[in-house]
Structure 1
Amino acid sequence: MESNKAAVQPKSKLRVLLEVLEVSTKLGLTSFGGPIAHLGYFHDEYIRRRKWMDERSYADLVALCQFLPGPASSQVGIGIGVIRAGLLGGLIAWLGFTLPSVIALVLFAFLLKGFDIGGAGWIHGLKIVAVAIVAHAILGMGQKLTPDRHRVTIAIITASVTLIWQTAFSQVLLIVTAGIIGLWMYRKTAIPEVPNLPVPISRGIAVICLVLFFGLLITLPLLRQFFPSGWLPLFDSFYRAGSLVFGGGHVVLPLLEREVVPTGLVNREDFLAGYGATQAVPGPLFTFAGYLGAMANGISGALIATAAIFLPAFLLIIGVLPFWNSLRKNPKVQGALIGINAAVVGILLAALYNPLWITAILAPVDFALAAILFIMLVFWKVPPWVVVLSGAIGGTLVSNL
């Protein structure tokens, strides 16, 4: 009996890892619309459909990743993969979500440079899909995280300030403020018990990851002075960009431009063309690094740039997750999280308007298509990939009217 049990166990672990790869790859192929839209796709697939995590834990994980520098949606995906299947699960979840867009952008770099696809009808349709996906996420998360007038007020004020005051650090300051308000407002409220997140990582590994994160951030620029050629300068540039960005993929653009355009790695025209192509592919906006690396140094450049810009996200989420259970069960931290989660709903609401609504809903027919896609997703429970395909076809048809 013991030998049979031992034989079954690895297969069970392999099956879980393959499931993570399957789901994350499907998300990597269908998640259009940028980091906020990705959280909507994740919520629908990981939480609503597969129930890999409860609503409250997902909201807490999103709140944590909003605090950390780097690509928040990728960190949420990595965190879910780690919780589901350990360190290897986090790596596989990232690979599945990231590789499709990296491959597409490297192909753009080699084969499609100079083509103008920004005005294609199917791309406009994908923007409309993102509107439906984020609206669906707001509906679900809003019901759970803003059930009373105080939290609704926090969400609306956060959305309003986010739209009016758009800077790189405004989102972080709003989340911190919401946390302080939640700490004060809910300090005497009886908080329901929080489910324990099964994080299969020791605190020792977590500390090593945090030390490595700060160590690389400090030492790479110094090493670059001694080794000014080769792969190290490229790795340093993209590692720093991934370490110092708050607010998602769009905010990384000025950092990347300063690293690659003045140094001559990529000219300004190719930089802008690649950014346009990045808007057309699913997955995280940080995969723009793959395009830039390919333009600078072919396949090896693409691999180095992609690994470097996402490495900080890995080190930070793995470094923090083992401590997250004890922190989030603290009554004071829970009170702060109530306010933060309401603010996250507000940030989603702001993103629904800008950039999604104002760039996608340009005519009554666009609104009609968005409404149809929303109904398909929410009431008919159509799989997201079908909604994405329908949006692309609908956008093509609308552009020919």
Structure 2
Amino acid sequence: MKTPYVADNATGDATTNRGTPAEVFFVFLKLGLTSFGGPIAHLGYFRDELVVRRKWLNEQGFADLVALCQFLPGPASSQVGFALGLLRAGPLGAASAWLAFTMPSAILLVAFASLAGLFNGPVGQGLIHGLKLVAVAIVAQAIWGMAKNLTPDRQRAAIALIAILIAILAPTALGQILAIVFGAIAGLWFCRTDTAQEPVELAFGIPKIVGLVSLALFLGLLFVLPLLAALAGWQPLNLIDAFYRSGALVFGGGHVVLPLLETEVVRTGWVSASNFLAGYGAAQAVPGPLFTFAAYLGFAMTPEPNGPVGAMICLVAIFVPGFLLLVGAIPFWNTLRRHPRAQAGLRGTNAAVVGILGAAFYRPVWTSAILSPIDFAIAVIGFVALVMWKAPPWLIVVAVTLTELASQMLLRP
């Protein structure tokens, strides 16, 4: 059997370094407790913890994973986390990564389900705004580090700049896909080298037959579940269908899924509009993936199953399609990336990912957080602390949030 390899340093050298599901669980539990700011910020946390600090893989391998997950439907940051757990410790590692990264925010949102208006006061709003400022510092650090490694020449820097324009002019999931497609095409023309490089082996250990089965399951459930739900008229099946489709038809995850969820649960009368908005507000104040908003909705909805059972059904159903697609794509992607043309396309794609991160840094990260000179100063201090003083992200979360709360009380009307 082929020896599994992972990259263990920034140059891309390989080693037989593997971890355990327990190690993956506790690393991602830390991330699940501290990763505020949405999917783009999560990628910054992942990069800092797993590429820079722990060296589970190199910058190039991480960027390749981000590009793949950005291109696939589903919760992009959770898919990256799932893939990193799979890479480190196999299927149990993937399950451990998902559970640990998802569990904290799911538990908090279920707890918030009966506490309407928790964040309506000035202290609550100050807390939320402080977490947004944390996201500014984290995303800026991620862009800074990735740009140095993935756009080292004029060609790739130009691809990144054009990708920023595409993503800003088309601020939708379609814009992100267009930017990635542009990067791949531009890479084929402008990022070729005379010799093919052997990419670092990312040993996911998924046979192609398993990939094909996963893709078949994804498509089968997408088309069969609505028919079964309509014929059976059984509420648990209706829930699985609604949340599976919401997870399957959204690119990039995060806030993009909210309109789909609103259609499925508010317009059907399962959840009131006021409760939906209250849960959305709470979701802004917790770490981890925004897809865990599904747990809040499953707990708070009127028809049974609701409560803990409803929360579990909705939470699992919304994540499953993205993971099926990822498992289906990985075996073929891992083979494709060895070819010289594919490598050229990936160089362009990775540069485009830097551009997409740059566009997301402006909107919504910057535009929703930097509302005054004080906000700008706090975010810059956080960025400098991360980049120059190598402060751990959890410390930045605490310090920036407390500073924002203090400024709300002392310096602002």
1:376 equivalent to 2:379? Answer no
Corresponding residue for 2:308? 299
Distance across 2 between alignment mates of 1:254 and 1:168: 13
How do residues 218-367 of structure 1 correspond to structure 2 at under 5 angstroms?
A: 218-296=223-301, 297-367=306-376
Distance across 2 between alignment mates of 1:15 and 1:41: 19
1:115 equivalent to 2:118? Answer yes
Kindly state the Cα deviation for residue 375 of structure 1 after the two structures are TM-superposed: 1.7
User: TM-score with structure 2 length normalisation?
Assistant: 0.91
Q: Out of 37, 42, 49, which is 1:38 matched to?
A: 42
1:146 equivalent to 2:155? Answer no
For 2:228, the aligned partner's letter is L
Kindly state the Cα deviation for residue 161 of structure 1 after the two structures are TM-superposed: 2.4
User: TM-score with structure 1 length normalisation?
Assistant: 0.94
Taking a change above 3 Å as real, the CA distance of residues 319 and 186 of structure 1, as seen in their structure-2 partners, is same
Taking a change above 3 Å as real, the CA distance of residues 118 and 45 of structure 1, as seen in their structure-2 partners, is farther
SS in 1 for 2:36: coil
Q: Out of 379, 389, 392, which is 2:398 matched to?
A: 389
Corresponding residue for 1:82? 86
Distance across 2 between alignment mates of 1:70 and 1:117: 30
Kindly state the Cα deviation for residue 211 of structure 1 after the two structures are TM-superposed: 1.2
Taking a change above 3 Å as real, the CA distance of residues 201 and 391 of structure 1, as seen in their structure-2 partners, is same
Distance across 2 between alignment mates of 1:206 and 1:193: 23
| Cα-to-partner distance string for 1:240-298 (whole Å, 9 max, x where unaligned) | 00001013211111111111111111111111111111111111111111111111111
Distance across 1 between alignment mates of 2:182 and 2:110: 40
Distance across 1 between alignment mates of 2:253 and 2:166: 17
For 1:193, the aligned partner's letter is E
Corresponding residue for 2:69? 65
| Cα-to-partner distance string for 1:144-180 (whole Å, 9 max, x where unaligned) | 1101111111111211221222233111112112111
How do residues 86-165 of structure 1 correspond to structure 2 at under 5 angstroms?
A: 86-110=90-114, 112-117=115-120, 120-165=125-170
| Cα-to-partner distance string for 1:304-347 (whole Å, 9 max, x where unaligned) | 00000000121111222222221111111111111111110011
Contact persistence 1:180–1:339 (CA under 8 A): yes
State which drifts further: 266-275 or 46-55: 266-275
Contact persistence 1:117–1:277 (CA under 8 A): no
5+ unaligned residues in a row in structure 2: which ranges? 1-16
Distance across 2 between alignment mates of 1:197 and 1:164: 34
Corresponding residue for 2:30? 26
Corresponding residue for 1:16? 20
Query: Identity across aligned pairs (percent)?
Result: 57
State which drifts further: 182-191 or 229-238: 182-191
Higher helix proportion: 1
Task: Number of aligned residue pairs: give it.
Answer: 388
Contact persistence 1:179–1:339 (CA under 8 A): yes
Kindly state the Cα deviation for residue 118 of structure 1 after the two structures are TM-superposed: 7.6
Corresponding residue for 1:10? none
Contact persistence 2:113–2:296 (CA under 8 A): yes
Distance across 1 between alignment mates of 2:343 and 2:18: 35
Distance across 1 between alignment mates of 2:163 and 2:280: 29
State which drifts further: 309-318 or 41-50: 309-318
Kindly state the Cα deviation for residue 84 of structure 1 after the two structures are TM-superposed: 0.4
Kindly state the Cα deviation for residue 221 of structure 1 after the two structures are TM-superposed: 0.4
Distance across 2 between alignment mates of 1:201 and 1:165: 35
Contact persistence 1:175–1:343 (CA under 8 A): yes
CA-based RMSD of the aligned residues comes to 1.6
Distance across 2 between alignment mates of 1:362 and 1:113: 26
Kindly state the Cα deviation for residue 188 of structure 1 after the two structures are TM-superposed: 5.0
Distance across 1 between alignment mates of 2:254 and 2:374: 29
Kindly state the Cα deviation for residue 359 of structure 1 after the two structures are TM-superposed: 1.3
| Cα-to-partner distance string for 1:175-221 (whole Å, 9 max, x where unaligned) | 11211111122345444331111112222222221111111111100
Corresponding residue for 2:176? 171
| Cα-to-partner distance string for 1:45-78 (whole Å, 9 max, x where unaligned) | 0100000011111100100001100011000000
For 1:39, the aligned partner's letter is L
Distance across 2 between alignment mates of 1:355 and 1:263: 29
1:184 equivalent to 2:184? Answer no
Q: Which has the higher contact order (CA 8 A, sep 6+)?
A: 1
SS in 1 for 2:171: coil
Distance across 2 between alignment mates of 1:125 and 1:275: 17
Q: Which runs of 4+ in 1 moved over 4 A?
A: none
Corresponding residue for 1:3? none
